[in-house]
Amino acid sequence: MCRISNEAMKKIKLYDYQQDMLDNIIKVLSGDSLTSMHISTKQKKHKGYSVMVQMPTGTGKTYVTASVVKWFLDNHDQGEVWIVAHRRELLEQMQQTLDRFCLDYGEKEMVLKSKVRIRVLSIQWLTRHVDELEKAGCTPGLIIVDEAHHAIADSYQDVFVRYEEALKLGMTATPCRLAKKSFTGLFERLLVSPCTNDFIMRGYLSPYDYVVVGKSSTDQLVVDQLKGRGSDGDYAIKEMDEKLNIPQTIQRLYDSVKKYADGKKGIVYAIDIVHAQAIAACYNTLGLKSVALDSKTPAKKRQEMVEAFRRSEIDCLVNVNLFDEGFDCPDVEFIQMARPTLSLAKYLQMVGRGLRINKENKDKVCMIIDNVGNYRKFGLPDKPRNWEIMFVGMRAGKGIIPTYVKKMHNVIAVNDEMVTVKKANTARKKMTVKQLKSYLKSVVPFEKDGRWGLRVKDDIIVKPIYTSISDFKGDYAVCCIGIQRFLYGLLDRRGNIIIPPEYRSIYLRNEHEARVSRNYGDAKTIEL
């Protein structure tokens, strides 16, 4: 534990976007910003200001959190800081960050010590011992919730109500739930960071390649047939295990890694521990050094395996709900999804593990291997998302379930090949926000060999794959595919497909609306 003065913290420089977020958090918690329109009647009675912060995985949420802790200690003589999470791995990561910032977080949670300013607590332990803490005179002035999309749980809500006068900060990459549930009863407002694509283009996150199983592949057809749902609304574990934990499917998992990530090390997300063990056994037999881990794996062994992975003594960490949150390892070179999900949060947490930059390998390009078709429910990891509407509970953080269900009998799958849906743009730069805006304004269509793409000088944003691309109107350009029958869609300056090229006509009415038509006489307006 670090016993150095908190003055050491001042020497640590935050990135510009981290500093901007810190400044905005302080404004809200100090009561200097406008009150959110989303405050509930119940929340208005609270004296403590509250805010939820969205930052993509790998952009330094723990550093911003530690900075908020230091601000509170420097400006408030009374009240403790309670950092709360639902898993011990998250707590350990936060403790390491506090050490790095030379902030003394006191004793372990099992020891009640009244004269400390920072406590790092699991929500499970806090729920059991909150009365003891109160009797000992331990009262929070600031409550910080890590992975705050879990704060909907009653245990968190009870703590928030009990200490309504405390300031409250929630940190998450994904402010959404599978069910339409609002966070506004807990947090007054949401602060949103720049989109993931901006971080990639500025060099703060790794570029990536993305491959997915074919739409008519054996495994995609199986996933499309999954009918069971668990208590959380996601696919039922038992049914997934029955349908996907079979030798032929696991062999295809290995073949995918061998073809697209040979010589790389990565993380495989499995359905359950039986599935994870089967994958690890298959990979080991075929020469890919692998180990299966889950939450029941002893902490010491788990740490040993992670360290062996860091040293490249292990090629694959096959895990079950273990490394989707709070795992900080920039050495991850590929992500393989062997479990489907309906949860947007789970999807982004999984793929986000591979997007952390590696300072020792500045040319890192993460390979994302999607063997279960999660891409078809959620799109690419850096697709723009409306977090505000999910924060207030108007939209579920849920993937789109196919509207059709194909009969499995009498279906001959002829397409088990993987499909490349994203190739990395490796033109990474450490740009300021101002420089990025200037860079994006310079994006223009270009033609090569009769096909069109997007570029900025020599930087290729989108490879020439389109029949045509119009000039930009604001932030959008019309793209076209086809030879004899043309279909039109919409691209933004980052190369993201805003409207898929599946319309017979498309017209940009203004920077917020497009008029599209599939057939004559069926035009409709789409908000951008």
Query: Is the per-residue pLDDT at 51 higher than 90?
Result: yes
36 pLDDT tier (thresholds 50, 70, 90): very low
pLDDT in tens, 357-377: 887 787 889 999 999 999 989
429 pLDDT tier (thresholds 50, 70, 90): low
Same domain, 335 and 365: yes
Query: pTM score, two decimals?
Result: 0.82
Residue 168 sits in a domain whose CATH number is 3.40.50.300
How many of the other CB atoms lie within 10 Å of CB of 527? 6
Q: Is residue 437 part of a domain?
A: no
pLDDT in tens, 99-131: 766 666 665 555 565 667 888 888 888 899 899
In the prediction, which pLDDT does 474 show? Answer: 87
What are the beta bridge partners of residue 447? 452
In the prediction, which pLDDT does 104 show? Answer: 66
Q: Is residue 429 part of a domain?
A: no
More confident residue, 427 or 139: 139
% of residues, the chain, pLDDT over 70: 85
Which token pair is 336?
Answer: 């393989």
Same domain, 184 and 50: yes
For the chain, the average pLDDT equals: 85
Residue 355: domain span = 205-384+395-422
Q: Under DSSP, is residue 104 helix (H, G, I), strand (E, B) or coil? A: coil
In the prediction, which pLDDT does 3 show? Answer: 39
In the prediction, which pLDDT does 175 show? Answer: 95
Same domain, 46 and 142: yes
More confident residue, 48 or 265: 265
Mean local confidence (pLDDT), 486-494: 89
Same domain, 372 and 464: no
Handedness of CA 200, 206, 209, 213 (dihedral sign): negative
Range in 91-105, 368-382, 491-505 the model is least confident about: 91-105
Query: Is the per-residue pLDDT at 66 higher than 80?
Result: yes
In degrees, to the nearest 5, what angle opens at C-alpha 334 toward C-alphas 501 and 150? 80
From residue 249, how far is each of 74, 129, 143, 317 by CA, in Å? 56, 46, 45, 18
Read out DSSP for 68-88?
Answer: HHHHHHHH-SS-EEEEEESSH
Same domain, 100 and 248: no
In the prediction, which pLDDT does 38 show? Answer: 46
In the prediction, which pLDDT does 2 show? Answer: 41
User: Looking at the 3D structure of the chain, how many domains does it have?
Assistant: 3
Q: Is residue 138 part of a domain?
A: yes
Q: Is residue 1 part of a domain?
A: no
Same domain, 242 and 358: yes
Which token pair is 56?
Answer: 């993509």
Query: Is the per-residue pLDDT at 251 higher than 90?
Result: yes
Tell me the H-state helices in 428-522: 433-441
Which token pair is 398?
Answer: 């849920």
Check: CB of residue 507 under 8 Å from CB of residue 514: yes
In the prediction, which pLDDT does 326 show? Answer: 54
Greatest Cα-to-Cα distance within the chain, rounded to the nearest angstrom: 78
Check: CB of residue 239 under 8 Å from CB of residue 227: yes
Mean local confidence (pLDDT), 50-57: 96
140 pLDDT tier (thresholds 50, 70, 90): very high
Mean local confidence (pLDDT), 80-104: 75
More confident residue, 98 or 165: 165
Query: Is the per-residue pLDDT at 80 higher than 50?
Result: yes
Same domain, 466 and 344: no
Same domain, 173 and 294: no
Q: Is residue 35 part of a domain?
A: yes
